[in-house]
Structure 1
Amino acid sequence: MKIRIKSLTTSLLCLSLIIPGVAFAAKKQAWDKIFTKSDKVDHEKVSYKNRFGITVSADKYQPKGLDKSQKHPAIVIGTPYGGVKEQGAGIYAQAMAERGFVTIAFDESYNGESGGKPRRVSSPDIFVEDFSAGVDYLGSLAFVDRDRIGAIGICGSGAFAITAAQVDHRIKAIATASMYDMSRFMRNGWKDGMTDEQRNKTLDQLAVQRWKDVDGRTPELTPAFPSKPVDKIPEGLDPITSEFFEYYAMKRGHHPNSIAAFTKTSAMSFMNFPLMDHIKSISPRPILFIMGEKAHSRYFTEDAYTMAAEPKELYIVPGARHIDLYDRIDMIPFDKLTSFFTKALK
């Protein structure tokens, strides 16, 4: 089935001084997630600074009745590209807390409830840093073992988690689910089909857009999904765009903080910032790659798995599409994730 590059690009792009890592708890708020709150965990909204001085907002989950006199393993969890912590990342964080881990699901800088201006910037460098800032925060907790911290990245954050681990040896184990390499996609196009001529035309358009942003003083955003959930997928969308629409624009995954749009000129950073170039250097720390059998994105995971050094493992979820590993708790292999991190963070 033929995929229109323009539509896919739109869906994906649409898709006090405090020491870094030292946090303060935010005020308690009403439950604002797309999933049901578990009675097996304690939840708290927290905030902390990354090394750029941007305040990162996160949800912390921990097993109810956690013995804080002991040291426990912890996991920092990133969102799908364009998503927020109240969606898929929160589902993973809560589920792994139920299984004994201290976890945080965070909003990337400039997005969701995290700080940073202008809003809706997408930055590979800063999004990678946000994983390390999460490690900073978890390691500041007296009941977390600094030598037993791992990371989970979903969709675009899968590549961010791996890239962070290339230089941050404090991340002892990494798992990805439905991974997307956004730098590869933006520079090379879908399945590396972008020609040099097409790339240069895109860069010409981005150059014009930068002047528009300068003159307008407010950066323009890529098209966003509807601000309120809709009941059906519009006709005429290609299969991949339809899949993302199903999640972000319909009741299944819609959240008001997730408009799945970024500043148009954010693409320039990704085209100039390759991710995962040093993935082999993560060894001997283990990587678990999880992908759906029917995921349109599986080539990103397959190629990253090939590039990675041992120890590594590829886990394929039968029948799962790309977005199914965002929220389908009957498909997300939490038992596999639990056994992987239990062994890796022992």
Structure 2
Amino acid sequence: MRSVKVPALAWDIAANLLLPPHFDSSKKYPAVVCGHPIGSCKEQTSGNIYGAALAQQGYVAIAFDASFQGESGGEPRLIEDPTQRVADFSHVVDFLVTQDFVDADRIAVLGVCGSGGYSISAAKTERRFRAVVSVTGVNFGRLMNEDFSQFDPVAALEQMAAQRTAEARGEELTVNNYLPASPDEAEKNGATEVDLYEATLYYRTPRGEKPGGATSALFSHQTTAVGWDAFTRAEKLLTQPLLVAIGDVPGSFGAYRDGREIYRRAASQDKELVEIAGGTHYDLYDEKDSVTQVLDRVVPFLAKHV
């Protein structure tokens, strides 16, 4: 693995470049851009699970931290802006196509959770992506209009506007944490809905906890997400081969419904829907049997298309 810096706008994106066994820089390799979940970082599932597995299969995999998050640049911190998140994917492709060991005509994208939606959105206009893989992908705009705004997005936008005005006038930033502090606290407060509780088990224990995984966002800058949708014009623009992997256990984050929706709506002529029986959202992050089932479909899919 190599740590690299990817030039973005006025800052760099931090990324881990995962190389195949017996890597030879004189050769050209297919590549996969791996995007992390919302509130996560490159060391959680996108890099250490899927990126690492694809590198073992002969791909150059690059897992990156979103702008304003993890080790990437951008101020203020902890902004979750879908438009920037989508743009980050193209900055990473710009980096890859300048590497002599990457075949610029054989680049795919794989996103997990929120990046499952972001990668789909990016691929609609980023034609350098030859194939798209969404693993338990979530349409963050839909989620912000529903659970994350208590199903009242207009009221949430008003609160965000007021908070942004306050911050512009010098008041302290408000950072919202997505999760309880621990599984014990989740149980104590009744936060036992499957996605929320399993997120706490993943991000708040040694199972998945990493320094860059903040699981929080700057409240005043979430307005863009409320007005955004990952799947807009997918019927026309999302034409690349598409594989959507979901667990068949529905949860409040909505990956099950979002996965089935984009599979139906995508213009892709070659598309696959992989449903993991008994799989939850977070099983597809790192649970061995579920991940193995996903990779058993992803590896031949990518071999066919990139």
| TM > 0.5 | yes
Post-superposition offset of 1:218: 4.5
Q: Give the alignment of 1:74-153 within 5 angstroms.
A: 74-90=31-47, 91-153=49-111
CA distance in 2, matches of 1:193, 1:144: 45
Match of 1:175 in 2: 133
Structure 1 gap ranges (5+) = 1-42
Q: CA RMSD in A?
A: 2.1
1:231 touches 1:251 (CA, 8 Å); kept in 2? no
1:230 touches 1:251 (CA, 8 Å); kept in 2? no
Match of 2:23 in 1: 66
Post-superposition offset of 1:164: 0.9
TM-score normalised by length of structure 2: 0.91
Post-superposition offset of 1:267: 2.0
2:196 paired with 1:241: yes
2:21 touches 2:58 (CA, 8 Å); kept in 1? no
Structure 2 gap ranges (5+) = none
2:70 touches 2:212 (CA, 8 Å); kept in 1? yes
Q: Which has the higher helix share?
A: 2
Match of 1:23 in 2: none
Post-superposition offset of 1:69: 2.4
Q: Deviations over 1:32-76 (max 9, x none)?
A: xxxxxxxxxxx11111112x2331001011112123322211000
Post-superposition offset of 1:231: 6.8
| Residue aligned with 1:234, SS | helix
Structure 1 residues 263 and 320, CA gap change in structure 2 (3 angstroms): same
The letter of the residue matching 2:233 is H
CA distance in 2, matches of 1:86, 1:295: 26
2:79 touches 2:217 (CA, 8 Å); kept in 1? yes
Q: Give the alignment of 1:289-308 within 5 angstroms.
A: 289-296=244-251, 297=254, 298-308=256-266
| Residue aligned with 2:263, SS | helix
Aligned identity (percent) is 32
Match of 1:254 in 2: 209
Structure 1 residues 164 and 94, CA gap change in structure 2 (3 angstroms): same
Match of 1:221 in 2: 175
1:231 touches 1:250 (CA, 8 Å); kept in 2? no
CA distance in 1, matches of 2:81, 2:150: 23
CA distance in 2, matches of 1:186, 1:233: 21
TM-score normalised by length of structure 1: 0.81
Matched positions, count: 297
CA distance in 1, matches of 2:21, 2:202: 30
| Residue aligned with 2:94, SS | helix
Match of 2:272 in 1: 313
The letter of the residue matching 1:57 is A
